[in-house]
Structure 1
Amino acid sequence: MLIKPQQLLLLLLFICIGTKAQERTILLQGYVRDAFTNGGIKNVSVILMDEDSTIIDKQTVKYIDEDKTYMESYYNFNIPASPKKYIVKAEQSGYESAFSNYNVKYIARNQSFQVPTIYMKRKSKLQQVNELDEVVVKATKVKIVFKGDTVVYNADAFNLPNGSMLDELIRQMPSVTLNSAGEIFKDGKKVDNLLLQGEKFMKGEKNQKILLRNLPAYTVKNIKFYNRTNEKNQYLGYNNEKKEFVMDVQLKKEYATGYIVNAEAGLATHKRYNTKLFGLRYTPLSRLSFFSSANNINQDLRPGSDGEWDAYKAGDGVLSFKIAGLDWFLKNTDKSVSNEFYVKTLWRDGNYDAKTITTTFLPTHNNYTASTLHTNGKETSITAQNDFIVSKSFYLYASTFFEYWKTSGTLNSKLATFQANPFNSVKNTEDLLNDVFNKNDSTIKKQLVNSNKQDSDNRFYRYGIWQTLEVSKKLPWGDNISLEAEASYVKERKKNFNGYQLQFMQTNTNETEHQYVNEPSHHYNIAAKLAYNIHLLNNWNFNASYGYQQNYQYDSFNRYRLDKLSGWTNSRHRLTDLPSTRDSLLLAMDLNNSYQTWNRFHVHSGTMRIFYDKEGRKGTTRIDFLLPLAYKYNCMNYLRSDIDTLVSRRDWLFTPTISYSFRGANGKNWQLAYNMEVTTPDLKQTIRVTDTSKPLSVYMGNGDLQNTTTHSFSASYGNIIQKLKGQYYLSADFKLFHQAVGNAMSYNTTTGIYTYQPRNINGNWTAEFNNGFSVCLDKRRIWTLENNMSLKLNNNVDFVTLNSIQSYGISKVRNFYFTDGIKLTVQKNSLRIAFIGNIDIHNSKSLNSYFKTFSVCDFYYGLAGNYTLPYDILFATDLKMYGRRRYSDQSSNNNCLVWNASLIKTFMHDRLNISITGYDILQNISNHTYIVNGQGREETFYNNIPSYVMLTIGYRISKKP
């Protein structure tokens, strides 16, 4: 007999509720703080009494962040689950006794009650005694301490050059990686938030790079990695959402109050420069920081760094930027109200040169494209955000974000397409293109299909504002209700001027185009969600929510062919010139390639979330079932020359997520998760139009596009080895894409023009396995070994480029990626050396006869370290050999020895430091990327900064109140 869904739901509900009421106890908890410092107090005796002062229980306070300057001391008593009045008394020698009365009125499904914070005053005769009975931690030079599932790195145990910032400290920490985007990973797990003294500092990876690059490493006491309960969950008394994985930077006591200012200025050969200014004012209830920097050196690593940068990927182009901003954080004495405001301004200039070799796989032969690109651009941006949090009888979170962004730039490019491999006789891209455009080589001319010289001037601006509001309220019977709302408005405009000089060799024709494109756009988004959470007595929760979202976007694509105006091509006009009258401009409008869209969508969603979260002595177990069902209605008005239509689609979207995690008190943890995502096609792609706005590519819409579904599976396991002060982790991920969108392409062998159309395709998937470990090899912890390995298999299924867009074939390419990095570090007294090695292998193969299996390899090995010479002069250096093998461009298959070095001397009790740095002393750095899919492969080489020698002077000031 089949069980009905209603019966199954009731059965699950009864299982979850099964708890004996007569055995139930609840928690009575609260904090004890110093009335003057607002910090926790050690060794406080807390006595629980009834309303007649009869002693019921007694305990000594426990601690949160015990080794933190501003720790928390708290207590929790198990009491019967029945209404009762209590008196809580706090005693400690040196303090006056303090009391708090609390009435437990309504029990229902509440599992805990919060007593108002008890503030204790010092006795007058002890006012001269130290404010805290602090335990002084002597410099044992132990790098890592494991406290349950919290990992603590002692900053003083790492040997860093003077003048190092927080990012250099992170790069030396075992099992921790920091990438160029500012993302931090611990044992392969990404850090959700970066905290400073337990508080968030400027949300977002781009913003956290500011703290990483500007906070001096000498101010840091230790760095903690742990799973943190956010402000909302603290208010609710249980983890409504999963804990966030954070990296908490703890400052030394002398820098945790008062202020510090750190300034640095450097000047180098080849007109390189680097300046930096950072200030921080800290009190127990506030934080004010300001920062500014300007440089044109493209990178943040210093000599001796263990950073995972690559001599072949040392930053695209040559950039100079200036940035300035401030961050201001405030909270009240009982920490129930807080506010953080930050503003940041960025100015960036850059020039970017690229040489690209592209191979397109065709059934009969391969096509080859060589191109060069040069751009100059400027960027200005202003971002500001304010986060306001109240956590009293209710929880309130309000966030306002504003952004302004403006860019401008020019582009010059040359491109040539060949029907046979032209690199057999000519080695590099630039020589080949010079022969094409100067018409020097008749052999090359026979292989040539087309060529294109393009000049562009691009301008863009955008501004927008986003507002988020979230309110939660605990109900007397233990449940809670929450309301979330958000709204945003964005306006942007793009203007492009494009000049094309085209040559088609097979038809012996030339074309010239002068385009002007004007693209205004604006959109808004509003959303709201109401949720009710039933918090059961056995740690199970049932959460039901309803949400509504509305989005509107207007886009206008206005394209003008100025070369079609009478006499325009015979006159001298600059690229950015426009006709003198609007009527003349309208005469040049390319109606067949201009359009307007009014796009709206409405989403009604209902979500059932069932989760279990229990913290015990052995660890924390969490189970989540997220079952959202959404109805999405999307409609769009589309206007284009002879097309004026309304298109719409309706979708029911079910996207469940199931996860299980366990974090053991001994550091052991594992996770399992499954997630399904459904992506609906962009309605603009479903309009059956042909767009010829790009000279060498034609776009066709497809009204038969289907939803794309992605199934994701993941598993991970991690543990610590206490005896070896070691850590290791294993993780596996698998993604399967159903009805992915690819581009079916046809190729005109006469003109070299591609016609492409988006279509659904199946068979794409990726599988990835990662593992890593770090261990101390000796009892004195002088030697440390680290290894991180990654295996990735990508099955890429795409369309074969044919002569007709109506008929198509399928190409299947298997990409295998293997990466392994190893580091052996020795640190003793003033010497630190890290021996580093890494290998990356990329292998691609296919069953298609026209695809030639290939494998490329990148590797490096070398050392990085520092040593204190006589007269306290610090020498820091890194020397690495980089190599590449089996690339198409023979000139890129080489070895590259890169050496960076610096000498640093401090004066005035370490307040003043002077350094001289040599970057790429041997002048060998280059830049290169490699991409392969089912339709072809591409190699690109970029310009980068020249080698330089820089003299830097730094000065720091610190003062305690």
Structure 2
Amino acid sequence: MQKFVSILACILCQLSVAYAQKCLAIFGVTEEVIEKPIEDARFTLYFNDSIQVPYTVISIDKQSNTYQFEFDYRPGKYTLRAEKEGYTDAQKDFTVTSKRNTLLGLGTLWMKKSKTRQLKEAVVRATHIKMVTRGDTVVYDAAAFDLAEGSMLDALVAQLPGAELKDGQIKVNGKFIESLMVNGEDFFAGNPKVALENLPAYTVKNIKVYDRAANDDYLKAKVNGKKIDGADEHMVMDVILKKAYSNGWLGNVEGGYGLPSDRYLGKAFGMGYSGKMRLAAFANLNNIKDTQTGSSSGQWGGGWAQDGELDVKMGGLDYLYSHDRAKVFGNVTLTHEEPEVEYKGSNVNYFNSGDIFERSHSLRNDRKLHLISAHQFQYSAEHAYFELKPSIDYLKNNYTSISHRAQFSENPEEQYRVQSLDSLFSPNGMASSNFARHLLTRIGNDQDGKSDWIIANLAANSTISFPSTQDNIEIALTGNYRRDTNRYFNSFNRVYGNSSPNVGKGDNLFQKSDYVSKTYGMNADIGYTWNYRPYQSGAGHYALIKPEVQYDFHRYDQVNTLLHLHEEFANGANGSMMVPPSAISPEQLVVDLNNTYASNLTQNKISPLVSFAYLYVPSASSSKSFNADLTLREDIMHERLDYDKAQLDTLLSRTISKFTPTIKLRYKDNGQKVRTEVETNYSFTKNVPSIYNQLGTINDSDPTNIYVNNPGLEKPRTHSVNARYARFHNQRHNNVVLYASYGRTDNAIAQARLYNRATGVSTWMPKNINGNWNTYESVQYNMPFGKNEAFQFQTVTTASYVHSVDYASESETLERSEVNNLTLGEQLALSYRVGKHSFGIRGSLSWLNSRSAREGYDNISAFDITAGANATLNLPMNWQITTDLNLYNRSGYSDHTLNTTNWVWNASLAKTLLKGNLTFRLNAVDILKQISNVQHTVNAQGRTETWVNSQPRYVMLHVVYRFNVMPKKKKS
């Protein structure tokens, strides 16, 4: 703490300079309905409501709608009034209180037309510009895009210059969109994946993309709209609806049935909305892995990735209500999920004495009931902001899983994936299978279980601004509770093969586990922000200092009771049959003393930190700015562990600390023609090994993997640095983004593996190791060209290098294993739009080059190639044809069954009726039946190639009906 006080005092002394004797007011003037800048308005400035104050116009930027007026410093209350013939007057009240805060961002003055008359409808034809840039905000005019009748918002977003829409994730100019908003309001907040299938495109006026400020941002210091602290970006896409659609009802229903395997889909959605509220309800039932949720945006959105197949039934409610300064919103979602996930794996485990080859096959079925409820209340006063956020998350799951594994001394040659396991686990397979010759162990595992969790959180945050200094104080309080349970029966069978000295022998293990964990937590945070923001007519130097203190309390209670029965047999042929968990008799089981325990861990942590931020602006009207941020944080934590296990009943306590600095530098130039961003970040983190390592206990509940704690671990230290350069041309709409990063970890905690070839048992112990580092680089370029920018070209080039170091050995002496992985990638895409039709081609190449100096290592040179084409044709009579064809080629992998070439073809035929409200659509997915999902990883301990089951091909007929009811206009 003394360090922080000393540093703070030094910086305060440096900033003790003569304060400005002038003030600068920065503001904009906009028409309220159409949101266009108003020119040639007259302005008057008053002191204490009556005394007119002379001012000097420093600059007027019509493109960014920014006015800058200079006037003499005098503390007190001021009123800025705007007038123009044909508009109602607008005014903004503000206060000048401190000489160190005389740069005044007043926001926007909104003016209304003073008179409106109902005129007969007229057809107006105008030229619409697709995209304009206003400061840091990109604005797209929806009327400038040619869409087919009945098009939804996703069709509009797909045409936006610089935008990418893939799997519900939106990216604009290389930046991911974290949230999609409607009229500036959240819906189902917190889910970055947004689907855009239900909001009709004709309801959209324009779309804005910008860096979303925090809810209390209006209380925090800015300089001409620029953040002093250079806070992290939170990019959002804000869909602004036409005024005619600001009140009414919106809804849709959809049904679908497909073959083979009785594929089905049913969805219903309804929403009522007005200027102050939105209320939405939805239901979604299907077995085609559609996990979208309806929201008060009028869209189906969100969803989550799920391996395998999925049968899901879900429904929910989403609401928002705002009145004056208060706003409340939230959502409730109830889901019933039945995923079925199958994995087939091919592994190579590296050892200097000879690699171990492994095949695995698992199948898991779950039945989940999941309730999520999250709500938020916000109140924005003139000088204070408050929010309250309660939430609850409950999940209950019944699951079954079965897995087969085998380890070999030589790589088995298979005709198809996991052929060796099918052979070895067949009746009499141990005696007759050709794969038994090089077999070390064959392991089967069958488990039935029930698990659940409940998570409850309550958070309260407040920001208070002091008018006299424009400093602010932030206070946050959070409380949380979590309970997890997992109860299961497990049946384990192991047989040793011909390559093992224990050939013919084996064992069975039957287990019953009962695990309960409870967590209680509380957090308190208080910080004070001191602002230095005087008006400077020339180059401007601005700063803020934020000292802060955080306190965290957590208590973790765990109880694990494990019963078991262990049986050994000498004749593998007699004991090789799996016993299902349902056949286990609990009364025959006894307590496994080595894996039954109770623990109570209490943590108290206090974290003093201080943040320094500096902003340099060449002049008050300059588009350029430079940010520098430094954060210094010290975590001091006291831990107390009460642990009871068999012969061990101990009480441990310790006090630990770690220092974490971060540095961020950013340069921005929001020029009229070109916008430039340059940013670099550095962070240093020091992690503390878990206190459980000090126990020196052993966990052997899994007979094939024994885990040993290590009391002698040192703290890992990680250095991370990254840099980003981006250039956007506002008129040509092209952009280039360069990114590079580097990370290094000293004293990394590796799970050192000691392998017993005779038994197939791995003993794991955490050990410190040095030498792990990685780097990543990418270059992205987007360019529209042709008449009306009909063509869009994109290229992305990537390179990564990972130096992975780990321990693996078959002897008591640990041996380092080092592997270098170089991955190079290139992606190309070209799209073309003519009228309401669109066409596209794309391709990508990824090359993995894996090298190691260790003896016996088989170097890898593998290629993943994809190529594809897509087309959307909007034909007369409201017919639409959509199709895409993709090639996936893999070569160079050690398991030849993973070297494949697959063609994936999807197609859709749709007919729209009733002015786009009724749609019949026939979808064909994976027409050629060649979808394959394969994942590949390489590190210092081995390489893994995994196949995961995916949605099988099907054909489905959909019927979709959409409605939009608006209130009738009152007769004048």
Superposed pair shares fold, TM > 0.5: yes
What displacement does 1:375 show? Answer: 1.1
Equivalent residue for 2:276?
285
- What whole-Å deviation, never above 9, does each CA across 1:157-208 have from its counterpart, x for those lacking one? 667677665456555555444565x654444433344322222222223xx4
Equivalent residue for 2:214?
230
**536, 561, 566: which is aligned to 2:532?**
536
Give, as a single letter, the amino acid of the residue that structure 2 aligns with 1:434: S
What displacement does 1:504 show? Answer: 2.1
Equivalent residue for 2:811?
803
Note if contact 1:148-1:664 (Cα within 8 Å) is conserved in structure 2: no
Equivalent residue for 1:695?
703
CA shift in 2, pair 1:451/1:316, >3 Å = same
Report the TM-score, using the length of structure 2 for normalisation.
0.87
Question: What secondary structure does 2:601 align onto?
Answer: strand
- State how far apart, in whole Å, the 1-side matches of 2:772 and 2:134 are: 43
Equivalent residue for 1:354?
343
What displacement does 1:767 show? Answer: 0.2
Does residue 261 of structure 2 align to residue 268 of structure 1? no
Equivalent residue for 1:49?
46
Give, as a single letter, the amino acid of the residue that structure 1 aligns with 2:20: A
Give, as a single letter, the amino acid of the residue that structure 2 aligns with 1:478: Q
Superposition map of 1:27-176 within 5 A? 27=25, 42=38, 45-50=42-47, 51-52=49-50, 54=52, 56=54, 77-95=69-87, 97=89, 104=95, 106-111=97-102, 126-128=115-117, 138=126, 140=128, 143-155=130-142, 166=153, 170=157, 173=160, 175-176=162-163
Question: What secondary structure does 1:204 align onto?
Answer: coil
**822, 827, 849: which is aligned to 1:821?**
827
**476, 486, 492: which is aligned to 1:500?**
492
Question: What secondary structure does 2:935 align onto?
Answer: strand
Note if contact 2:917-2:963 (Cα within 8 Å) is conserved in structure 1: yes
CA shift in 2, pair 1:109/1:668, >3 Å = same
- State how far apart, in whole Å, the 1-side matches of 2:932 and 2:920 are: 29
Which stretch shows the higher mean deviation, 162-171 or 691-700?
162-171
Note if contact 1:498-1:515 (Cα within 8 Å) is conserved in structure 2: yes
Superposition map of 1:140-219 within 5 A? 140=128, 143-155=130-142, 166=153, 170=157, 173=160, 175-177=162-164, 184-205=170-191, 208-209=192-193, 211-212=195-196, 214-217=198-201, 219=203
Equivalent residue for 1:628?
633
Give, as a single letter, the amino acid of the residue that structure 2 aligns with 1:494: N
Note if contact 1:369-1:415 (Cα within 8 Å) is conserved in structure 2: yes
**384, 403, 407: which is aligned to 1:394?**
384
Question: What secondary structure does 2:856 align onto?
Answer: coil
Equivalent residue for 1:405?
395
- State how far apart, in whole Å, the 2-side matches of 1:535 and 1:145 are: 33
Give, as a single letter, the amino acid of the residue that structure 2 aligns with 1:49: Y
Equivalent residue for 2:659?
654
**925, 931, 945: which is aligned to 1:925?**
931
**367, 375, 397: which is aligned to 2:364?**
375
Q: Gapped runs of 5+ residues in structure 1?
A: 67-72, 302-312
What displacement does 1:744 show? Answer: 1.0
Does residue 969 of structure 2 align to residue 944 of structure 1? no
- What whole-Å deviation, never above 9, does each CA across 1:340-373 have from its counterpart, x for those lacking one? 2111222211111111111111112111111111
Equivalent residue for 2:20?
21
- State how far apart, in whole Å, the 2-side matches of 1:345 and 1:39 are: 39
Equivalent residue for 2:471?
479
What displacement does 1:96 show? Answer: 5.2
Note if contact 2:309-2:951 (Cα within 8 Å) is conserved in structure 1: yes
- State how far apart, in whole Å, the 1-side matches of 2:125 and 2:803 are: 53
- State how far apart, in whole Å, the 1-side matches of 2:909 and 2:485 are: 49
**560, 564, 575: which is aligned to 1:561?**
564
Note if contact 2:800-2:824 (Cα within 8 Å) is conserved in structure 1: yes
CA shift in 2, pair 1:530/1:639, >3 Å = same
CA shift in 2, pair 1:944/1:114, >3 Å = closer
Give the length in aligned residue pairs: 918
Equivalent residue for 2:571?
none
- State how far apart, in whole Å, the 1-side matches of 2:735 and 2:18 are: 39
Equivalent residue for 1:295?
286
What displacement does 1:557 show? Answer: 1.7
Does residue 507 of structure 2 align to residue 511 of structure 1? yes
What displacement does 1:112 show? Answer: 5.8
- State how far apart, in whole Å, the 2-side matches of 1:913 and 1:862 are: 27
- State how far apart, in whole Å, the 1-side matches of 2:87 and 2:730 are: 39
- State how far apart, in whole Å, the 1-side matches of 2:744 and 2:442 are: 39
Question: What secondary structure does 2:234 align onto?
Answer: strand
Report the TM-score, using the length of structure 1 for normalisation.
0.88
Does residue 956 of structure 2 align to residue 956 of structure 1? no
Question: What secondary structure does 2:591 align onto?
Answer: coil
CA shift in 2, pair 1:479/1:64, >3 Å = farther
Note if contact 1:918-1:948 (Cα within 8 Å) is conserved in structure 2: yes
Question: What secondary structure does 1:203 align onto?
Answer: coil
Give, as a single letter, the amino acid of the residue that structure 1 aligns with 2:679: Q
Q: Gapped runs of 5+ residues in structure 2?
A: 293-303, 534-540, 569-574, 968-972
Question: What secondary structure does 1:439 align onto?
Answer: helix
Equivalent residue for 1:602?
604
**432, 436, 454: which is aligned to 2:445?**
454
Question: What secondary structure does 2:193 align onto?
Answer: helix
What displacement does 1:285 show? Answer: 2.7
Which stretch shows the higher mean deviation, 505-514 or 397-406?
505-514
**771, 775, 779: which is aligned to 1:763?**
771
- State how far apart, in whole Å, the 2-side matches of 1:137 and 1:614 are: 45
Superposition map of 1:677-756 within 5 A? 677-756=685-764
**Which structure is higher in RCO with an 8 Å CA cutoff and minimum separation 6?**
1
Equivalent residue for 1:417?
407
CA shift in 2, pair 1:599/1:579, >3 Å = same
- State how far apart, in whole Å, the 2-side matches of 1:223 and 1:854 are: 47
Equivalent residue for 2:536?
none
Which stretch shows the higher mean deviation, 711-720 or 273-282?
273-282
Note if contact 2:554-2:604 (Cα within 8 Å) is conserved in structure 1: yes
CA shift in 2, pair 1:314/1:593, >3 Å = closer
Note if contact 1:464-1:489 (Cα within 8 Å) is conserved in structure 2: yes
- State how far apart, in whole Å, the 2-side matches of 1:683 and 1:117 are: 55
CA shift in 2, pair 1:577/1:169, >3 Å = farther
- What whole-Å deviation, never above 9, does each CA across 1:874-907 have from its counterpart, x for those lacking one? 1111112211111233233222111111111111
- State how far apart, in whole Å, the 2-side matches of 1:644 and 1:526 are: 28
Question: What secondary structure does 1:656 align onto?
Answer: strand
Give, as a single letter, the amino acid of the residue that structure 2 aligns with 1:284: G
Give, as a single letter, the amino acid of the residue that structure 2 aligns with 1:230: A
Which stretch shows the higher mean deviation, 840-849 or 212-221?
212-221
What displacement does 1:407 show? Answer: 1.6
Percent of pairs identical after alignment? 26
Note if contact 1:369-1:418 (Cα within 8 Å) is conserved in structure 2: yes
- State how far apart, in whole Å, the 2-side matches of 1:115 and 1:154 are: 27
Give, as a single letter, the amino acid of the residue that structure 2 aligns with 1:813: V
- State how far apart, in whole Å, the 1-side matches of 2:274 and 2:134 are: 27
What displacement does 1:947 show? Answer: 1.1
CA shift in 2, pair 1:602/1:134, >3 Å = farther
Give, as a single letter, the amino acid of the residue that structure 1 aligns with 2:72: P
What displacement does 1:241 show? Answer: 6.6
- State how far apart, in whole Å, the 2-side matches of 1:136 and 1:386 are: 44
Equivalent residue for 1:523?
519
Note if contact 1:534-1:543 (Cα within 8 Å) is conserved in structure 2: yes
Note if contact 2:56-2:70 (Cα within 8 Å) is conserved in structure 1: no
Note if contact 1:46-1:75 (Cα within 8 Å) is conserved in structure 2: no
What displacement does 1:64 show? Answer: 13
What displacement does 1:788 show? Answer: 1.2
What displacement does 1:262 show? Answer: 2.6
CA shift in 2, pair 1:150/1:875, >3 Å = same
- State how far apart, in whole Å, the 1-side matches of 2:110 and 2:740 are: 49
- State how far apart, in whole Å, the 2-side matches of 1:8 and 1:231 are: 30
